[in-house]
Structure 1
Amino acid sequence: MKALVLSGGTGSRLRPITHTSAKQLVPVANKPVLFYVLEAIADAGITEVGIVVGETADEIRAAVDSGGFTGLDITYIPQEAPLGLAHAVRVAQDFLGDDDFLMYLGDNFIVGGVTGLVEEFRATRPDAQILLTRVPDPTAFGVAELDEHGAVIGLEEKPEKPKSDLALVGVYLFTPAIHEAVRSIEPSWRGELEITHAIQWLIDRQRDVRSTTISGYWKDTGNVGDMLEVNRTVLETVEPRIDGDVDEASEIVGRVRIAPGAVVRDSRIVGPAVIGTGTEITGSYVGPFTSISQECRLTDSEIEFSIVLPGSSITGVRRVEASLIGRSVEVTPAPRAPAAHRLILGDHSKVQISS
Structure 2
Amino acid sequence: MKALILAGGKGTRLKPLTNTIAKQLLPVANKPILFYVLDQIKEAGITDIGIIISPETGSYIKEAVGDGSKWNAQITYILQPEPLGLAHAVKTAQDFLGDSPFLMFLGDNLIQGGIVQFVEQFNRSSPDALILLKVVKETHLFGIAELDEKGKVYRIEEKPKHPKSNLAVIGVYIFSPAVHEAIAYIKPSWRGELEITDSIQRLIDTKKNVQSYILDGWWLDTGKKDDLLEANRVVLDDLLKCDIKGEIDTASQIVGRVEIRPGTKIGNSTIRGPVSIAENCQIRSSFIGPFTSIGAGTVIQNSSIEHSVILQDCHIINIERLADSIIGKGTEVIKEEQTFKALRLFLGDDAKVEL
Task: Write the letter of the residue equivalent to 1:300.
Answer: N
Is 1:157 aligned to residue 130 of structure 2? no
Alignment-derived partner of residue 345 in structure 2: none
Is 1:42 aligned to residue 42 of structure 2? yes
Post-superposition shift, 1:172? 0.3
Alignment-derived partner of residue 327 in structure 2: 325
Post-superposition shift, 1:66? 7.9
Post-superposition shift, 1:14? 1.5
How many pairs does the alignment contain?
A: 337
2-structure distance, mates of 1:69, 1:253: 33
Alignment of 1:1-355 (within 5 A): 1-54=1-54, 55-65=56-66, 69-236=70-237, 237-333=239-335, 336=338
Moved over 6 A (4+): none
Task: Write the letter of the residue equivalent to 1:260.
Answer: P
SS in 2 for 1:139: helix
Give the greater-gyration-radius structure (CA). 1
Alignment-derived partner of residue 341 in structure 1: none
Q: Report the aligned-residue RMSD.
A: 1.5
SS in 2 for 1:69: helix
Alignment-derived partner of residue 343 in structure 2: none
Alignment-derived partner of residue 347 in structure 1: none
Q: Identify which range, 326-335 or 283-292, moves more after superposition.
A: 326-335
- Compared CA separation, residues 215 and 70, structure 1 to 2 (3 A): closer
Task: Write the letter of the residue equivalent to 2:327.
Answer: I
Task: Write the letter of the residue equivalent to 2:267.
Answer: R
- Compared CA separation, residues 27 and 66, structure 1 to 2 (3 A): farther
2-structure distance, mates of 1:76, 1:319: 43
2-structure distance, mates of 1:9, 1:292: 26
- Compared CA separation, residues 209 and 305, structure 1 to 2 (3 A): same
* CA deviation map 1:97-147 (0-9, x unaligned): 000000000001011110100011011110001011111111111111223
Q: Identify which range, 260-269 or 12-21, moves more after superposition.
A: 12-21
2-structure distance, mates of 1:154, 1:13: 30
2-structure distance, mates of 1:230, 1:261: 26
* CA deviation map 1:260-304 (0-9, x unaligned): 011111100011111111111010000011110101111100011
- Compared CA separation, residues 66 and 243, structure 1 to 2 (3 A): farther
SS in 2 for 1:188: coil
In the alignment, structure 2 segments of 5+ residues that lack a partner are 340-355
Task: Write the letter of the residue equivalent to 1:324.
Answer: I
Alignment-derived partner of residue 345 in structure 1: none
Task: Write the letter of the residue equivalent to 1:207.
Answer: K
SS in 2 for 1:181: helix
Post-superposition shift, 1:163? 2.5
1-structure distance, mates of 2:328, 2:208: 46
2-structure distance, mates of 1:93, 1:199: 17
SS in 2 for 1:261: coil
Alignment-derived partner of residue 346 in structure 2: none
1-structure distance, mates of 2:290, 2:228: 15
Q: Identify which range, 290-299 or 321-330, moves more after superposition.
A: 321-330
2-structure distance, mates of 1:218, 1:40: 14
Task: Write the letter of the residue equivalent to 1:50.
Answer: G
With the length of structure 2 as denominator, give the TM-score of the two structures. 0.92
Task: Write the letter of the residue equivalent to 1:245.
Answer: E
CA contact (8 A) 2:68 2:75 kept: no
1-structure distance, mates of 2:150, 2:297: 55
Percent sequence identity over aligned pairs: 52
With the length of structure 1 as denominator, give the TM-score of the two structures. 0.92
* CA deviation map 1:155-187 (0-9, x unaligned): 112223323211111100000000001111110
1-structure distance, mates of 2:91, 2:69: 29
Task: Write the letter of the residue equivalent to 1:179.
Answer: H
2-structure distance, mates of 1:148, 1:242: 50
Task: Write the letter of the residue equivalent to 2:130.
Answer: Q
SS in 1 for 2:77: strand
CA contact (8 A) 2:39 2:71 kept: no
1-structure distance, mates of 2:92, 2:236: 36
1-structure distance, mates of 2:151, 2:176: 21
CA contact (8 A) 2:318 2:334 kept: yes
SS in 2 for 1:61: helix
Post-superposition shift, 1:151? 2.6
